[in-house]
Chain A
Amino acid sequence: MNIKVSTIFILLCGVFLIYSFSIYIIPFKEKAAVGFDPGQAAFGRLVWQKHNCQSCHQLYGLGGYLGPDLTNIISNPQKGEVVIAPLVKYGVKQMPAFDLTDYELSVLIQFLKSTDASGISDPRNFIKDNFGMINEHEIK
């Protein structure tokens, strides 16, 4: 039994590693989208983490549950880039006031531009097919 068990185990692990690496190599073969500075966006991601925005905000529906999803805040006609600085500086409801440097704020905005450029997170943008799968209606 044990030989059979270890063979299946090793085979599965092999397939898992191939699947994992097929994902790790994506950033090396594809260029990042346009409309933002990828280097600064990568720093902005660290600002997002350093101030734990994720504990209340979501990106593509993933994150905390107190505040709204911020994936497309930049291209939202009622919100946009201009609302970010004052909200971050003074806070709102459970959101505390943050003391961000100008540099931190500017790279944070680059990061939010990168999330915005990646697609649309609004669940209403999806259509169902006959197999229960969903597909984007509109693609950025």
Chain B
Amino acid sequence: MNMKLSKLNFGSLFLLFALKMLLFGLVFGVLASLSYVYPEFLKDKLGFISLRPLHVSSAMFWIILGATGCIYSGLQIYTGTSASNQRSKWQFILWTVAIIGIFFSYFLKDFGGREYWEFNPIWALPIVMAWILFISNFITMVKGFKQWPVYVWMWLTGIIFFLFTFLENYLWIFPIFRSHFVTDMTIQWKVNGSLVGSWNQILYGTAFFLMDRIENSKSTGRSKLAFFMFFLGLFNLMFNWGHHIYTLPTEKYIRYIGYWVSMTEWVFFIRIIYEWKKNITTIQKNYHHFPYRFLMASEIWVFLNMGQAILMSIPAINIFTHGTHVTVAHAMGTTIGINSMILLAACFEFLNFNLEKHARKIKTLNITFWFLQSFLLLFWLALNGAGIRKGIWQMSVNQSSYSQMMESLNPFISVFVVSGAGLLISFSIIAFVLIKSSISRNVIYHQDS
């Protein structure tokens, strides 16, 4: 193998790639939100029509590339072997090609896909190829090991289900599916539900991994409770997606399965309450450790978002929130509050961010951390407020016109836009500190060589 390649640390490379996607995503998000306030904003050049896909796809790439970086970094530590080989190199190149192609096509308004993946299906090919290389690398790395801890199972589950659902996502290419509108939509939202479930497996797995590493133990990853949680998560990934489509006239059993399976999530919720006290003491002990602090922030966001999600999964409540900004609050609340916090924890840990060497930056990071959480809370509340107002409108007998209803959301939308800008600034500070310190310490190369 060529010398340079064997020295590259693909775990760090993917994490840094992901952090750049986060920055793009934030900028496009803020620009997209301005269309709410100024309808003519960039309308003839980019417009919401391009900004929304640019934002949402960048956000997806931040999460998926970040998840890839977490798996490579974690596996290199767990197996003691390196992930530097031709397959990782090509995986990285294929992702780069796909993302450049996708961004260009959005700028040129050349669409053709579905929500969150609005690009021409051609660009799905390099993604699928990259993912197959990833799976083969994963299997090569873990195959000699027995008695896997729970996080290895979760990573494996995440990458297999990602590929399955990503391919399922393209069944619409066959006209027979497209000409059955209701089944087509059913499959589309089955996919969206399971896709989120699969990256959650990877990220929650990473959280278990980080917990063991921070506490210098092997107990979390091997406990019976962790395995129970893994299976409950998998069960939900497979069968709870029906809660997205209660109003779609699809087979009735799909609604019932979605509803009843979603209710098993109370178990997760109750566990968090149950462990609250224990967590508080550990928080106090580890507060100064950034990876830990971001993990704890994610736990609090799990609590808020899961509480909301379970309520929204009750059809009688869902009918009010469906199609409103409550759904957007849930989508961004989870991808930012849970997924992004775990990813940042992983970045601090895996990119070897050493606190003692960065004393000057600690103060900035401390303040930024709290600004980030506060802006996120505002952002989430504003979207929920807008959603509830629309929800009341959509169920009322004497509806005002659509445009009047949209105008009545303005106070909430203003808070949303301003807190969104706050999120952009706080996330950017953290991402810049991470990227800069990583580059200055050459973390894209294996440290021991």
Interface residues, chain A, CB within 8 Å of chain B? 1-2, 5, 8-9, 12, 15-16, 19-20, 23-24, 26-28, 30, 32, 38-39, 41-42, 45-46, 49-52, 54-56, 58-66, 68-69, 93-94, 96, 111, 114-115, 118-119, 121-124, 126, 128, 132-134, 136, 139-140
Contacts and interface: CB of A to CB of B under 8 A. Distances in A.
Given A16-B239, A94-B43, A128-B316, 19 more contacts: A1-B227, A32-B179, A38-B179, A42-B179, A46-B112, A56-B48, A56-B52, A58-B323, A60-B185, A61-B247, A65-B323, A96-B44, A114-B181, A115-B181, A118-B181, A119-B249, A121-B247, A124-B394, A132-B314
Given A61-B247, A134-B246, A27 B180 contact: yes
Interface string B48-82: 11001100000000000000000000000000000
A64 B319 CA distance: 17
A49 B148 CA distance: 43
A69 B399 CA distance: 14
B52 A55 contact: yes
A24 B171 CA distance: 9
A12 B234 contact: yes
B148 A19 contact: no
Contacts of A38: 179-180
Interface stretch (B84-92, B207-215, B251-259, B439-447): B251-259
Interface centre among B48, B153, B245 (most CB of A within 10 A): B48
B319 A66 contact: no
Nearest to A37: B179
Interface in B370-397: 394-395, 397
A49 B172 CA distance: 11
A122 B323 CA distance: 11
Interface string B158-183: 00000000001001100111111111
B185 A41 contact: no
A80 B319 CA distance: 25
B36 A66 contact: yes
A109 B297 CA distance: 48
A55 B181 contact: no
Given A1-B147, A66-B48, A123 B111 contact: no
A7 B175 CA distance: 37
Contacts of B432: none
A71 to B, nearest CB: 9
B325 interface: yes
B112 A128 contact: no
B176 A27 contact: yes
A119 B249 CA distance: 6
B137 to A, nearest CB: 21
B249 A123 contact: no
26 contacts: A12-B235, A12-B238, A19-B238, A20-B168, A23-B183, A23-B186, A23-B187, A26-B183, A28-B176, A39-B175, A39-B179, A41-B181, A46-B112, A49-B114, A50-B111, A51-B111, A55-B53, A56-B52, A62-B323, A65-B328, A66-B35, A93-B39, A93-B403, A94-B35, A134-B319, A139-B249
B259 A133 contact: yes
B248 A60 contact: yes
A42 B178 contact: yes
A37 to B, nearest CB: 9
A65 B325 contact: yes
B111 A56 contact: no
Contacts of A60: 185, 245, 247-248
A64 B249 contact: no
Nearest to A45: B178
Contacts of B314: 132
B227 A134 contact: no
A32 B177 CA distance: 10
A1 B146 CA distance: 10
| The 8 residue pairs across chains A and B that have the minimum distance between CB atoms | A61-B323, A119-B249, A38-B179, A27-B180, A42-B178, A42-B179, A52-B111, A16-B238
B250 to A, nearest CB: 8
